[in-house]
Amino acid sequence: MSGSLERPFDHVIGGTETPGARGEHASVKNPATNADLARVAVGHADDARHAMEAAQAAFDGSWWANDDGGRRMRALVKLAGILESRVEEFALLETLNMGKTLKESRGDMGFVVRTIEYVAGLADKIEGETIPVPGARLDYTIREPLGVTVHIAPWNYPLLLAVRGVAPALAAGNAVVLKPASLTPLTAIAFARLAKESGIPDGILNVVSGSGGEVGETLINDSRCRSVSFTGSGDVGRRIAELAARRTIPATLELGGKSPVVVFPDADIDRAARGIAFGIFGNAGQMCWAGSRLIVHRAVHAALVEKVAKLAAATRLGAGSEPTSEMGPLVSAEHLGKVAEYVDSARSEGGTVVTGGAKVTTESLGNGNFYAPTIVDGAAPEAKAVREEIFGPVLMVHPFDTTDEAIRLANATEFGLFAALWTKDIATAHTVARRLEAGIVSVNEAPVTFPQTPFGGFKGSGLGFEQGSEVVRQYTRRKNVVLNLSVPKPKA
């Protein structure tokens, strides 16, 4: 691995690795130490246009969009197999660049492999309909690929969230251009290098790194861009929706969350405590679907907070690459600063810090971006740290007395991505799941998702969805064809 980090991570455009028109590189860091990790090409608008050109040429000129889906299926299965054989290498690369533990990175890579396999299985099932119409006519629909699709990924699950958009677009026969987050581009670039070996034609899978403002917007504004899928913050998502609207192209937006975890008094409190800790301290809390607001019945409030606090305090922090680490650093020093500011604001808005609430400054971890798992109880519902997404290991706690109050608290947010509830009562589970304004609801386990289940946010959390059996069709356009079959009567 150390050898491959010496090699610069260049753009992959048209099947060729290139440092880009200006040949610029910048360093990305290891967030466990803030030391330089690897050199990455810095793309600009001309590189973005070059990638769009290469993608369009491959879409028009290769077999990818024109042969039957079975051939794409075989190439994608091969890609999944190559990645699976190199999971350890990719997991380590993800961990070194993003910070998450090796166990978490291995889990991510497993999800990536399964996602590619799942959409590969759909590639030869993109079918149209025949529609009965009046008279001697045959009417049918065709599902065609869109052309060149653009995918913009965030840093919290760098390869997983990139592939979640790219893989179904590929399965549908599109040529893709992916822009990874500037902080974490390594695994996306390493992934694109596998395309050739998998038999995917050059130019079908392109990666161009560089800033969102310049490279990202140039990709979307390019007349060849036929759709954009984006995962990231709400502000950038709404900007992308505007750009897409001006070009009349579809946009899929997976944005942030402030997800409630509702615990009823009959719940298995020990299991709930472990699930809650996993749902907010996993990935160091840098999850769009983190269970960041604990809404707990007053009868079990004190006992549950104590149990989660014990788990938080016992969490072993350390570099993700150390096998003993249970929680890695935050992605950057700047992001740690934002998380710390939120906790300080919660303190000043009536919250009590039950555990954590500070950067870790020990000799071994002080250079990295480690923030202690944190629980804040009793902050006012209007507090900034209660309303806004923190995107760090910070759990806000609110007691409730009645089910109506719990649901009101749970839904009192601009977001609607995810919600969890813990109860042994089946009627409570079903009725509360219906009343929660969230695109994904989990009962007695959280968070959990699969490539075959839809993932998408309500309200400010997004537009459209990823995953699930309809996702490949989302990257197609539907054409209706009608044939008049009537034979003209011979003239008398």
Whether 288 is a known active-site residue: answer yes
Closest by Cα among 343, 370, 368 to 354: 343
Tokens of 207: 């990666």
Smaller CB distance to ligand NAP: residue 42 or 407?
42
Among 162, 175, 240, 438, binds ligand NAP (CB under 6 A): 240
Among 100, 179, 297, 301, binds ligand NAP (CB under 6 A): 179
436 near ligand NAP (CB under 6 A): no
Among 201, 216, 329, 460, binds ligand NAP (CB under 6 A): 216
Among 256, 356, 399, 447, binds ligand NAP (CB under 6 A): 256
203 near ligand NAP (CB under 6 A): no
Whether 225 is a known active-site residue: answer no
Among 254, 326, 377, 437, binds ligand NAP (CB under 6 A): 254
Among 61, 213, 265, 366, binds ligand NAP (CB under 6 A): 213
Closest CB 413 distance from ligand NAP, rounded Å: 13
The interface region with ligand NAP, picked from 25-33, 61-69, 254-262, 393-401 by CB under 6 A, is 254-262
The interface region with ligand NAP, picked from 155-163, 317-325, 375-383, 429-437 by CB under 6 A, is 155-163
Tell me the torsion sign for CA atoms 476, 469, 75, 68. negative
Q: Are 58 and 72 in contact (CB under 8 A)?
A: no
Among 161, 267, 273, 472, binds ligand NAP (CB under 6 A): 161
Binding mask 133-152 for ligand NAP (x = CB under 6 A): -------------------x
Among 4, 66, 211, 453, binds ligand NAP (CB under 6 A): 211
CB atoms < 10 A from the CB of 298, how many? 12
HEC string of the chain equals CHHHHHCCECEEECCEEECCCCCCEEEEEECCCCEEEEEEECECHHHHHHHHHHHHHHHHHCCCCCCCHHHHHHHHHHHHHHHHHCHHHHHHHHHHHHCCCHHHHHHHHHHHHHHHHHHHCCCCCCCCCECCCCCCEEEEEEEEECCEEEEECCCCCHHHHHHHHHHHHHHCCCEEEEECCCCCCHHHHHHHCCHHHHCCCCCCEEECCECHHHHHHHHHHCCCEEEEEEECCHHHHHHHHHHHHHHCCCEEEECCCCEEEEECCCCCHHHHHHHHHHHHHHHHHCCCCCEEEEEEEHHHHHHHHHHHHHHHHHCCECCCCCCCCCECCCCCHHHHHHHHHHHHHHHHCCCEEEECCCECCCCCCCCCCCECCEEEECCCCCCHHHHCCCCCCEEEEEEECCHHHHHHHHHCCCEECEEEEECCCHHHHHHHHHHCCCCEEEECCCCCCCCCCCECCEECCEECCECCCCCCHHHEEEEEEEEECCCCCCCC
Binding mask 401-430 for ligand NAP (x = CB under 6 A): ----------------x-------------
Closest CB 457 distance from ligand NAP, rounded Å: 6
Which member of 94, 104, 254, 466 is catalytic? 254
The interface region with ligand NAP, picked from 36-44, 86-94, 142-150, 208-216 by CB under 6 A, is 208-216
Which member of 94, 117, 225, 288 is catalytic? 288
> CB within 8 A of 381, min separation 6: which ones?
398, 409, 412
Binding mask 455-484 for ligand NAP (x = CB under 6 A): --x----x----------------------
Among 28, 41, 79, 181, binds ligand NAP (CB under 6 A): 181
202 near ligand NAP (CB under 6 A): no
> What does the alpha-carbon distance between residue 443 and residue 421 come to, in Å, rounded to a whole number?
5
119 near ligand NAP (CB under 6 A): no
Binding mask 276-295 for ligand NAP (x = CB under 6 A): ------------x-------
Among 31, 154, 165, 201, binds ligand NAP (CB under 6 A): 154
Among 156, 227, 252, 374, binds ligand NAP (CB under 6 A): 156
- Minimal CB distance residue for ligand NAP: 212
Binding mask 336-365 for ligand NAP (x = CB under 6 A): ------------------------------
The residues binding ligand NAP (CB under 6 A) are 152-156, 161, 179, 181-182, 211-213, 216-217, 231-233, 236, 239-240, 254-257, 288, 389, 391, 417, 457, 462
Residues marked as catalytic: 254, 288
